[in-house]
Amino acid sequence: MVLSRRVDVKEFLRVRSAIERVAAGNEAGEVAEDTNLPVTTLRELYCERSELYLHGDADDDRVDAAVDDVRPLNEPVAEPEALDDRIREIVREEIAGSEDND
């Protein structure tokens, strides 16, 4: 017998909103307090499960099937910035700043 697990849609959307707020630049501690999520849980979900919560993308077929209840998802308000993109942006700013000083 295969058990079907479904997602608590209200809870999923609450976590999704929290992840969007952190991605938009809000402090994780403040967001965690506002949403009644443990800050360590929010940080872990933000770092490791953003794709699932923001886009409904899962690598596991069971998780993917469970998330069907929340699809289709609206485009996220904000997304975590890719570290590589942020590093490139900082380097460009540094180069531009050094050229202005010459």
pLDDT above 70 covers a percentage of the chain that reads: 87
- Write the DSSP string, 73-87: PPPPS--PPPHHHHH
Q: What per-residue confidence (pLDDT) applies to 44?
A: 94
pLDDT tens-digit readout, 52-101: 999 998 888 888 888 888 888 888 888 877 766 766 777 787 888 777 66
Q: What per-residue confidence (pLDDT) applies to 101?
A: 64
pLDDT tens-digit readout, 57-69: 888 888 888 888 8
Q: Where are the alpha helices (DSSP H) in 1-102?
A: 9-23, 28-35, 39-48, 50-55, 61-66, 83-101
Q: What per-residue confidence (pLDDT) applies to 27?
A: 93
Q: What per-residue confidence (pLDDT) applies to 92?
A: 80
